[in-house]
C-alpha cells in the first residue's frame, strides 16, 4: 500500500501533468502525488529547430519547451497547477531527440559511443496561463565504446522502447549497460527534476511539510 502524503486541505486544487510520458507519470505517482494527465500538442521538433538555428543554449530549449507544455494546458483549465517538463540530450553541440525507429536509434548510439553527453531536464509549473515556477538541471553521462554486435543485440532486445527516450536508451533498465560513468540526479536523468518540484508543491501547501 502506498502512503500518500498530500495535504488534506489542498484537495480542491487540481494538479495536472502536461505530458504523455509514462516515465514522468510514474515518477510523480511513486512520490505519492495525485494528479491527472493531459497531453499537450506542442510541436517540439519545430521549437527545437528554431532555437538551434538561433544559437540558443540547450538549457533555454528545455526551459522553453517545459513552459510551452505547461502553458498550453493551463490556458484550458483555470486554477489548475500544471506541470510541464522537457528533456534534451546535447553532445558536441548537437541536440538529440527521441529516435523515430531502430535505424535512428542505431545512428544516435553510434554517435554517443565512447563520448560524454549531457541530459538537460526542465520543469515548469503554470497556473492561469502564467508560469509561476521553473527549474532546469543537468546530468553528465559517458557511454562506453559500444561494439557492433552488442549494439545489434541491444537494439533487438529494446525493440520499440528505443523510441521512448531521448538518445534511444532507458538507463533505468537495459540501457544501464551502455554506460561507464554517470554523474547527476537520478530523476533528472529520467526527465523530471523531482526533488525541487516536490519542494515547490510543499511551499504551496499541496504536500505535507
Task: Name the residues annotated as catalytic.
Answer: 86
Alpha carbon distance 96, 109 (integer Å) = 11
Cα first-last separation, the chain: 21
Alpha carbon distance 201, 199 (integer Å) = 5
- Around 139, how many Cα atoms within 13 Å sit in the side-chain half-sphere? 23
**Phi, psi of 33, rounded to the nearest 5 degrees:** -90, 135
How far, in Å, are 5, 28, 118 from residue 31 at the CA level? 9, 5, 25
Number of neighbouring beta carbons within 10 Å of residue 176? 11
Name the nearest CA neighbour of 40 among 19, 58, 25, 15: 19
At 185, list the grid cell: 540526479
Amino acid at each position: 500500500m502506498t502512503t500518500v502524503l498530500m495535504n488534506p486541505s489542498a484537495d480542491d486544487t487540481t494538479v495536472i501533468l502536461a505530458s504523455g510520458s509514462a516515465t514522468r507519470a510514474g515518477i510523480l505517482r511513486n512520490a505519492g502525488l495525485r494528479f491527472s494527465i493531459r497531453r499537450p500538442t506542442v510541436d517540439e521538433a519545430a521549437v527545437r529547430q528554431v532555437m538551434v538555428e538561433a544559437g540558443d543554449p540547450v538549457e533555454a530549449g528545455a526551459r522553453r519547451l517545459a513552459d510551452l507544455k505547461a502553458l498550453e494546458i493551463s490556458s484550458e483549465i483555470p486554477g489548475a497547477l500544471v506541470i510541464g517538463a522537457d528533456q534534451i540530450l546535447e553532445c558536441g553541440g548537437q541536440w538529440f531527440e527521441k529516435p523515430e525507429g531502430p535505424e535512428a536509434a542505431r545512428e544516435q548510439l553510434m554517435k554517443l559511443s565512447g563520448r560524454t553527453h549531457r541530459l538537460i531536464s526542465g520543469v515548469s509549473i503554470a497556473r492561469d496561463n502564467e508560469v509561476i515556477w521553473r527549474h532546469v538541471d543537468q546530468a553528465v553521462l559517458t557511454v562506453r565504446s559500444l561494439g557492433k554486435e552488442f549494439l545489434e543485440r541491444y537494439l533487438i532486445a529494446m525493440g520499440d522502447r528505443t523510441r521512448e527516450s531521448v538518445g534511444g536508451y532507458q538507463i533505468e533498465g537495459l540501457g544501464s549497460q551502455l554506460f561507464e560513468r554517470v554523474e547527476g540526479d537520478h530523476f533528472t536523468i529520467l526527465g523530471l527534476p523531482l526533488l525541487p518540484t516536490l519542494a515547490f508543491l510543499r511551499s504551496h501547501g499541496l504536500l505535507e511539510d
